[in-house]
Structure 1
C-alpha cells in the first residue's frame, strides 16, 4: 500500500485536472499519506525486521516482490520527505510561470515518486528494472512539458540514453547474473561469490554501472543536461528526489546485495569503475565552470556529485559504503535547495544566467542565503551535512589505499568553491548588473518558493548536527 499511494494519488490528480483545488488537495493527501507510510517502516527496519511481500511470481524464481531494508528505506525517506516540500514549491511556481496542463504535470510527478518507491523497496533485480523503466517513462512528459521544439529534442535525448543504456547493458547484466547465480534476489553479502570467474567480474560490474544510465557516469551523462529544458520543479525532482537518486541507489544496491562488498574488495572488480567515477567527478566540475546558464551549471554539478556514490560503491570498503549511502541523502537536500533557488530567481526577476546575478543578493537575501547553505553543504564544509558523506568517502578510499581517489575528492571540493560558491559571492558582493540596477528594496519570490528553500537549507544544517539516524541506516549495510 505504501508503494501504491503515489499511483492512486496520480490517478485522482489526473481525474481532477479541471478542478485546481481538488487536484491540489489530492496531491497533498497523497504526499502526506506516503510520508506516513514510509515513516511506519522505520521501526521494524531498525529492529532488524524489515517486511517483505510477494506480488507476483511470473515463473519459478522470477518474482515481482518488495522488501524493506536499510538502503531502500533511506532512499524512500528522502523521496517521502521532499515530496511535500516539492509540492509546496511546484504548485506556486507553475502558477506564477503560467504553465498549462497541470493535471497531467502533477499526475506524472506523483507517478515518478511511486516509481522511485518501487525502486527503493524492490526485493530483486527484476522488480527494480520494471520500476526503473516506469520512472523513465513517467518523467518524460515532465521533461517535455513546455512543448517547445527544444523540449522535445531534450526529451528524445533523455529517453534514448536512459532506455538505451538499460536495455543494452543493464538487461544483459541481469541475464548474466541469472545464468550464473540462478537468482536475481538481493541478498546480504551478494549472490555472485564463487559463481562468476574473477577475471569476468570487472566486465559484469561495468555492464551494471553503465547500464544504470541514471547514475550519469561519463559517457552516459548527456541525458541530464538535456533534461534542463524542463521547468525548475522538474529539475529539482530529477536531480534531488527521484531520477538520479534512483540511479546511484541502484548502483549501490547492486554493489552491496548482488556482488557483495567482500567480493568487490577481494577481487578489485570495481576499482576500474571507481577511476571512471573519479574522472567524472573532476571532468564534470571543469565543464560546470564554463557554463553561464545557471541550470546547466547545476546539472554538471549533479553529474559530478553523483559519481561520489559510484566511487564509494565500487571501492566497497566499509567506510566508503557508509559515505556513499550518506551522500545519497545529504546531496538530495543540498541540490534541491540550489534548483529551488534557480527557479525562484526566474520567477522573481526572469534571470537564468550566472552573469545576470551580480548584485541580486541585495534584493533576494533569503534566496541567496539558502543557496549559500546548499553550496557549502555540497563543498563539504563543517556545520553542513555534506561534510559527513565526503569525510567517510575519503576515509574509505584511504582504507583501500586509493590515493588518486582521495585527490579527486579533495580537488572536487576546491572546484565546487570555484563554480558554485562564486554564484552567491557575485550576488552579494559585486556591483549590480544592468538589469538589476533598477530593482529597489527586497524583492523575493512568492513565499511558498521561499519557504521550500528555507526548509531544505535548514535540513542541510540539521544533518550536520544530528547525522545519527542517517548514519545508523548506512552502517546497517556494512553490518549486513
Structure 2
C-alpha cells in the first residue's frame, strides 16, 4: 500500500483534530489541553520533516479529492510548499509553548487554542495547495480562524480591530475569487505548474490576463499588507502576543506573500508575467510599501504598532524579489519568507514578555529594561539587527541576494530602496536599543511580576531565545546544505527557472 498520498492529509489532521477536541474541553482541563497542543505540534513537525527529506530526494507526496467533476482539492508537497510549511511547523511549536505560558490562568483558553489550531491547519493547507481552488478554500478558512483570535480579549477595541480585519479580508477574498473564476473560464484548469500554466497563451487574451493578475494580486495584497490594503494590520495588534507573532511571522501576512509567489511563478510564469508588463508595476508597489511601512514605523511609540508597520515594510521584500524577475532576486525573496519569520516572531515574543512581566507597552517606557530583562532584550537586539540587515543575522542574507538580483536584472533603482529601507529601519530600532541598554531604568515599572532568579517565566523566555538563535544561525550557517538559503536555491532551480 502506497502511504505517500496520506502524508499531506496527516499533516492537515495533526492540527485539525487536536483543535476540534480542544474546543470541547473545560477550562480546567489544563494538562489534557497542553498535551493535545504539544502532541499535535510535535507530530506536525515530524511529518513535515519526513516530507522535507522525501522531496529533497525527488519524492512526490500528493493527495487529490474530487470537489466537482472537473475540479479537485489537491494537497501537494513540492519544494516551494515545503519552505513555507516547514517554517509554519517550527514556529507553531515555539508559539504553542509560548502561548501556554502567556495564557496561564486566562479565561477562554479552550476557545483560543481551538481557533489557534484551526489557524495552523489553514496555513498548512495554504502551503500544500496544489491548485488555486484549494489555495482559495484554505485562504478563506484562515480568515475565519484568525478573526476570533484577534478579538480574543473581547474589549471594544478588540471587536473594532476584528471588524476591520474581517472587512478587509472578505473584500480581498472576493477579489481573489473573482480572479480565480475568470481565470478558470479562460484556461479550464487551476493547477499550479512550474514556469506557469499560462505560458503560451495567445495575444488575444492579454488584456483579460492583465485584469485577472490585478484582481489576484489585490486579493492577496490585503493579507500581504501591500499599500493601500494594509490598514487592518496595525489595528490587529490589540490581539494577544502569540496571535500577533503568528499573524506576522507565519500565518496571515505570509499567506498573502506566499500566494503572490504562487500567482507570479506557477500561474502566470515569471517570464510570461514580465511579457505582459505586470511585474514592473508590482515591483514599484512593493518598493512603495517598503518605504511607507518604514516611515510609519519611525513615528510610533506603541511597541507592537511599530513592529506592525515594520512588518508592512519587511514582508514586501518577498514581493519585490518576485517582481524583479531573475533567479538571484527570486532566491532573496524566497529566503526572506523564512528569515523574516524568525526575526519578527522573536521581536513580538519579546514585546509580549515586556507587557506581561513589566506592563511595558510603549517605547518611551523601555529605558533601562535591558538591565531587568537581559536575555529577553538580547533576543530583541538580534531580531532588530536582523531587520536592519546587519551581518551576520539572517536579514543580511536576504538583502544581499535581493541587491545582487536587482543588479543582475538591470534594476539598479532597487539598491536605493534597499539602502533607504535599511537606514529607516536603523532609525527606528537603534534608538530603542540605546534606550534599552544605556539609559537609566525607572524607579518602578508599570506592572511588575517577579519570578525569583529568572527575569520572566520559562515558557515566555525560552521561545524568543530559540527563535533568536534560529535568526542568527540562518545567517551564520547560510552555506550549509539544509539552510533556508540553499532550499530557496533548490526552489529556483526546480520550480521557477527550469532549463
Superposed counterparts of 1:231-380, under 5 Å: 231-380=240-389
Give the conservation status (yes or no) of the 8 Å contact 2:350–2:464: yes
1:146, 1:316 → 2: CA distance? 43
Match of 2:186 in 1: 180
Give the conservation status (yes or no) of the 8 Å contact 1:288–1:419: yes
2:279, 2:331 → 1: CA distance? 17
Give the conservation status (yes or no) of the 8 Å contact 2:168–2:232: yes
Cα distance per residue 1:373-426 (max 9 Å; x no partner): 011111111111111111111122222222222211111111111112322221
Question: Residue 326 of structure 1: SS of its match in structure 2?
Answer: helix
Cα distance per residue 1:100-141 (max 9 Å; x no partner): 100010111111111100000001000000000001100111
* TM-score, structure 2 normalization: 0.92
* Structure 1, unpaired ranges of 5+: none
* Structure 2, unpaired ranges of 5+: 1-9
Give the conservation status (yes or no) of the 8 Å contact 1:233–1:340: yes
Q: Alpha carbons of 1:396 and 1:202: their partners in 2 closer, same or farther (altered >3 Å)?
A: farther
2:300, 2:69 → 1: CA distance? 50
Give the conservation status (yes or no) of the 8 Å contact 1:217–1:277: yes
1:433, 1:89 → 2: CA distance? 27
2:299, 2:428 → 1: CA distance? 9
Superposition deviation, residue 12 in structure 1: 1.9
Match of 1:473 in 2: 487
1:238, 1:180 → 2: CA distance? 34
1:211, 1:399 → 2: CA distance? 30
- In the alignment, structure 1 residue 459 sits paired with structure 2 residue 466: no
Give the conservation status (yes or no) of the 8 Å contact 2:350–2:376: yes
Superposition deviation, residue 437 in structure 1: 11
Superposition deviation, residue 244 in structure 1: 1.2
Give the conservation status (yes or no) of the 8 Å contact 2:359–2:445: no
- In the alignment, structure 1 residue 150 sits paired with structure 2 residue 157: yes
Question: Residue 2 of structure 1: SS of its match in structure 2?
Answer: helix
Give the conservation status (yes or no) of the 8 Å contact 1:345–1:445: no
1:437, 1:34 → 2: CA distance? 39
Q: 1:210 aligns with which of 218, 240, 252?
A: 218
Cα distance per residue 1:347-371 (max 9 Å; x no partner): 1110100000011111111111100
Superposition deviation, residue 436 in structure 1: 4.6
Match of 1:31 in 2: 41
2:268, 2:486 → 1: CA distance? 22
- In the alignment, structure 1 residue 83 sits paired with structure 2 residue 89: no
Cα distance per residue 1:213-253 (max 9 Å; x no partner): 21110111011111111011110111112111111111111
Q: Alpha carbons of 1:407 and 1:199: their partners in 2 closer, same or farther (altered >3 Å)?
A: farther
Q: Alpha carbons of 1:442 and 1:23: their partners in 2 closer, same or farther (altered >3 Å)?
A: closer
2:424, 2:164 → 1: CA distance? 28
Match of 1:400 in 2: 409
Give the conservation status (yes or no) of the 8 Å contact 1:348–1:443: no
Q: 1:108 aligns with which of 101, 109, 115?
A: 115
Give the conservation status (yes or no) of the 8 Å contact 1:17–1:102: no
Superposition deviation, residue 477 in structure 1: 2.8
Match of 1:127 in 2: 134
1:283, 1:365 → 2: CA distance? 32
Give the conservation status (yes or no) of the 8 Å contact 2:248–2:344: yes
Give the conservation status (yes or no) of the 8 Å contact 1:358–1:430: yes
Cα distance per residue 1:13-44 (max 9 Å; x no partner): 22223311111101111001111111110122
Count of matched residue pairs: 476
Structure 1 stretch displaced more, 440-449 or 364-373: 440-449
Match of 2:4 in 1: none
What RMSD over aligned residues (CA atoms) do the two structures have, in Å? Answer: 1.8
Superposed counterparts of 1:415-454, under 5 Å: 415-433=424-442, 435-436=444-445, 444-454=455-465
Question: Residue 75 of structure 2: SS of its match in structure 1?
Answer: strand
